[in-house]
Amino acid sequence: MSQIGFNVPFLTGKETGYIAEAAKNLKLSGNGPFSKKCQSFFEAKIECKKALLTSSCTDALEMCAILLDIQPGDEVIMPSYTFVSTANAFVLRGATIVFCDSRADHPGIDESKIEELITPKTRAIVPVHYAGVACDMDVIMDIANRYNIFVVEDAAQAIDSYYKNQSLGSIGHLCTFSFHETKNIISGEGGLLSVNEEKFIERSEIIWEKGTNRSAFWRGEVDKYGWVDIGSSFLPSELTAAFLWAQLESMNEIQNNRINIWNRYYEGLQELRAFGVNLPYIPSYATNNGHMFYFVCNTGTERNQLLQYLKSNEIGAVFHYLSLHKSPYFEGLYSGNELINSDKYTERLIRLPFYYNLDTYDQTKVIDTVINFYRNSIERI
Ligand SMILES: *Cc1c(COP(=O)(O)O)cnc(C)c1O
C-alpha cells in the first residue's frame, strides 16, 4: 500500500537553472536582479504600492509591527485561530494581543465581533485570510477608518486570491505573504511585505536593510548610506529569489491545478453533508485560491477517529491550529471572552492531503476512505 503524504513541494523544473544563473552572476546577497523581478511581478499582480521580498511571512509581520511603531501596552486585535507568527510579531514589540473569535461558518475573523474589542489602546487589526479565503475587508476597513487604526492583512495563505475583485494584499495598510514550502507558491522559506500606504514605503526599505538607507543609496538618491532607523536583515538572498522566480513564471499553471484538486474534493465529498459535516464555505465576496481542503467534523472525537482511520489507511490528513488563547504561552495572559468558534475549529477541523502532484487515483482513494469512515461509523442526519 502506498502512502499519501499531506504535502509534497512542487518544483516547476526551472528552479535550479535560475539558482545556477544567480550563482554565475556572482550576485548572491539580497535585492539583486531576481529579487527585483519578483518584486515587480508582485507589484503588478497584487497592485500594491511597494512589494519587498522577505525571508519569511514571519519576518514580514515583524516588519509591520516595527513600521506601525507598536509600543508596549498597545493592543492588536487578531483571530485566535491562526499561526503563532501572527501574534509573535507584535508580542516581540510589547503589544497586548486581543483575540477575536472566528466566524461560525468560516475560520476567518468574525468581523461583527471586532468593534466591541476596540479600546483607546487599540493600534491594529490583523485579519488572517484562512485557506486563502478573504475576510470581509469592507467591514474591517470601515472599522479601522472610523477608529483611526491600522489593518495588517496576514495573507500568508492567500496568494492569487481576491475580495470583491481586489487582490488580497492590496486592501490593508500593510500585508504579508508566505512562500514556505507548504504554501501554493514556494521558495523553501520566504515571504513578502506589500505596502499600500505611501507613508510607509521609504521606511519599509530602511527597516528591511538593517536600518540603513542603502536602497536609496543604490538608486543614487543619497550620496552615502548609514544607520538611520531600527531594522534587521529581512531580505532573502538572490538564491531564494531565483527559486521563487521559477515558481512565479508557472503561477497560472500551479493555481489552475490546485483549484482543480480542490474542486474534485468538494464534489467528491458532497455526501458528507448528510452526516452533518460542514464542507468549506466561500462567501460570495471571496475567491478560492486552492490553498487547502479542510472540513469541520461534528465533534472532536469524530475528527480524531477519522484522523486515526486515515492514518491506518496510510493517508496523511492533519488537524490545524490550536487556539492561541489556550496555548501554553498565552493561557495565563488571556482574560477575554470564550472563543467558541475558535475552539470548534481547533477540535473539529481536518485537512486532507493537498499538493500539486496529488493524482486523481490517490485523490479518489482519499475521498473513498473518508466516505467509508462516515458510512460505516456515523449515522446520517
Ligand atoms: C504559513 C503562515 C505564516 C508563517 O509563514 P512563514 O513564511 O513560515 O513565516 C503566518 N501566518 C499564517 C496564517 C500562515 O499560514
Per-residue pLDDT tens over the stretch 194-246: 999 999 999 999 999 999 999 888 889 988 889 999 999 999 999 999 999 99
Nearest residue (CA) to ligand 1, atom 6:
57
CATH number corresponding to 251-376: 3.90.1150.10
Ligand 1 atom nearest the C-alpha of 129 is: 13
Ligand 1 atom closest to the Cα of residue 60 is 9
* Residue 66 contacts residue 231 (beta carbons within 8 Å): yes
For 127-184, the pLDDT digits (tens) are 999 999 999 999 999 999 999 999 999 999 999 999 999 999 999 999 999 999 999 9
Q: Which atom of ligand 1 is nearest to the CA of 179?
A: 7
How far is 10 from 177, CA to CA, in rounded Å? 18
Ligand 1 centre to CA of 156 (Å) is 5
3-class secondary structure for the chain?
CCCECCCCCCCCCCHHHHHHHHHHCCCCCCCCHHHHHHHHHHHHHHCCCEEEEECCHHHHHHHHHHHCCCCCCCEEEEECCCCHHHHHHHHCCCCEEEEECECCCCCCECHHHCHHHCCCCEEEECCECHHHCCCCHHHHHHHHHHHCCEEEEECCCCCCCEECCEECCCCCCEEEEECCCCCCCCCCCCEEEEECCHHHHHHHHHHHECCECHHHHHCCCCCCCCECCCCCECCCCHHHHHHHHHHHHCHHHHHHHHHHHHHHHHHHCHHHHHHCCECCCCCCCECCCCCCCEEECCCHHHHHHHHHHHHHCCECCECCCCCHHHCCCCHHHCCCCCCHHHHHHHHHEEECCCCCCCCHHHHHHHHHHHHHHHHHHCCCC
Q: How far is the CA of 179 from the centre of ligand 1 (A)?
A: 8
Cβ neighbours around 368 below 10 Å, total: 12
CB distance 353 to ligand 1 below 6 Å: no
What are the residue ranges of CATH 3.40.640.10 in the chain? 15-249
57: CA distance to ligand 1 center in Å? 5
Round to whole Å and give the CA distance between 209 and 8. Answer: 33
Residue 85 CB less than 6 A away from ligand 1: yes
| Res. 378: pLDDT tops 80 | no
Distance 58 CA to ligand 1 centre (A): 6
Task: Cell 518584486: give the residue.
Answer: 39
Instruction: Report pLDDT for 381.
Output: 65
Confidence at residue 92, expressed as pLDDT on a 0 to 100 scale: 98
pLDDT tens readout for residues 297-355: 999 999 999 999 999 999 999 999 999 999 999 989 998 899 999 999 999 999 999 99
CATH class as words, domain 15-249:
alpha beta
Take atom 5 of ligand 1 and give the residue whose Cα is closest.
57
pLDDT digits 0-9 by tens, 2-52: 799 999 999 999 999 999 999 999 999 999 999 999 999 999 999 999 999
CATH 3.90.1150.10 boundaries in the chain: 251-376
Predicted confidence (pLDDT) at residue 54 exceeds the cutoff of 70: yes
Confidence at residue 1, expressed as pLDDT on a 0 to 100 scale:
55
Q: Report pLDDT for 218.
A: 87
Q: How far is CA 27 from each of CA 22, 239, 270, rounded to the nearest angstrom?
A: 6, 9, 51
Mean pLDDT score of the chain, rounded to an integer?
A: 97
| Pocket of ligand 1 contains residue 176 by CB under 6 Å | no
pLDDT of 134 reads 98
Per-residue model confidence (pLDDT) at position 206: 97
End-to-end CA, the chain: 33
